[in-house]
């Protein structure tokens, strides 16, 4: 199961329902928003994990025990500290607010939802991604940099290989191009 599907199915879809309730979305809209936002976050996480010391930093963040709460109790998604944590994640993953804005704009073009709505949703989605990865880490032990078959990179790679051709390279180039406007 890839990262988007995992988020959609956690706690019988409780996080998705929380997002729908908080933003007044229909089920199809929330799923489309997650399907548009999660791959961009996965690209950023994977890029960071592949940098010097990045994988160790990510594993340290995942093992802190704090992120898992977002998938265990989705009502925490509406708390101001969740948004603050999500903005911190976005800052680390994307480097600056301009990239977050571009991600929201690209997702708006894909989903038909407003960029402002998606910009407000992005910190929550970031916490859900980290919570999902933290949960996987605690359930399966410390993830490795393994390929499509397992580990952290395998989980991220599953969402990045959108056309399921066994290679995420073409998909990552397309996502980065759309995200960065190139």
Q: What domain range is 67 assigned to? A: 3-180
User: What pLDDT sits at residue 53?
Assistant: 76
Q: How does pLDDT run across 14-27, given as a tens digit for each residue? A: 999 999 999 999 98
- Asked if 147 contacts 166 with a C-beta cutoff of 8 angstroms, the reply is no
Residue 12 in this model has a pLDDT that exceeds 60: yes
The count of structural domains within the chain is 1
d(C-alpha 148, C-alpha 1), whole Å: 11
d(C-alpha 39, C-alpha 161), whole Å: 9
User: For residues 3 and 112, which has the higher predicted lDDT (pLDDT)?
Assistant: 112
Structure tokens at 74: 């989705």
161: phi then psi, degrees, rounded to nearest 5:
-85, 75
């Amino acid at each position: 199961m890839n990262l988007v599907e995992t988020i959609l199915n956690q706690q019988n879809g409780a996080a998705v329902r929380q997002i729908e309730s908080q933003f007044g979305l229909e089920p199809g809209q929330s799923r489309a928003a997650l399907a548009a936002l999660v791959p961009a976050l996965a690209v950023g996480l994977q890029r960071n994990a592949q940098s010097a010391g990045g994988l160790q930093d990510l594993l340290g963040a995942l093992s802190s025990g704090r992120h898992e709460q977002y998938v265990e109790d989705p009502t925490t998604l509406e708390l101001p500290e969740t948004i603050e944590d999500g903005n911190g994640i976005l800052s680390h993953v994307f480097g600056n607010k301009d990239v977050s804005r571009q991600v929201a704009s690209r997702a708006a073009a894909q989903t038909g939802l407003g960029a402002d709505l998606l910009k407000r949703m992005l910190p929550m989605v970031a916490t859900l991604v980290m919570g999902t990865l933290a949960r996987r880490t605690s359930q399966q032990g410390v993830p490795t940099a393994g390929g499509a078959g397992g580990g952290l990179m395998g989980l991220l790679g599953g969402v990045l290989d959108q056309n399921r051709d066994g290679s995420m390279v073409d998909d990552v180039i397309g996502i980065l191009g759309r995200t960065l406007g190139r």
